[in-house]
């Protein structure tokens, strides 16, 4: 049986919920975005998985890696039909409907 470290809660998450191969987040922005979409139930879940990786990697990410992961996040928004413009209109419609 695999012994889990109790030092960080994230260790438990990495062991129990990891659905990606070890080098998954080292791929291209497109492959990361498409892989996240395929393995996630929603945009929210996909973006949380990407953010979890970015937060765990933290200071160890190079500038190139940060740019690639940012591009993956943008691509993920496109795949799910999300954009800043859509968010603006959703908020505007919410307040106009009241």
pTM of the model: 0.70
- What whole-number distance in Å separates Cα of residue 65 and Cα of residue 2? 30
pLDDT per residue as tens digits for the range 88-98? 555 566 666 65
Is residue 81 included in any domain, yes or no?
yes
Q: Domain for residue 38, yes or no?
A: yes
Does residue 18 lie within any of the structural domains? no
Handedness of CA 79, 85, 86, 87 (dihedral sign): positive
Report the number of distinct structural domains present in the chain: 1
pLDDT over threshold 50, residue 50: yes
Residue 92's domain comprises 24-96
Tokens coding 18: 């990891």
Query: Quick check: 65 and 57 in contact, CB under 8 A?
Result: yes
* CB distance 88 to 62 below 8 Å: no
Q: Is the pLDDT confidence value at 69 over 60?
A: yes
Tell me whether residue 17 is in a domain: no
Q: What span, in angstroms and rounded, lies between the C-alpha atoms of 85 and 98? A: 21
Q: Does any domain span residue 3?
A: no
């Amino acid at each position: 049986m695999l012994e889990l470290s109790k030092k960080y809660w994230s260790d438990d998450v990495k062991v129990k919920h990891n659905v990606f191969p070890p080098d998954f987040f080292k791929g291209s922005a497109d492959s990361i975005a498409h892989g996240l979409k395929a393995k996630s139930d929603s945009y929210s879940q996909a973006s949380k998985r990407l953010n979890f990786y970015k937060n765990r990697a933290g200071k160890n990410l190079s500038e190139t890696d940060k740019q690639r992961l940012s591009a993956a996040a943008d691509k993920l928004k496109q795949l799910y039909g999300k954009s800043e413009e859509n968010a603006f209109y959703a908020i505007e419609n919410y307040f106009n409907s009241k």
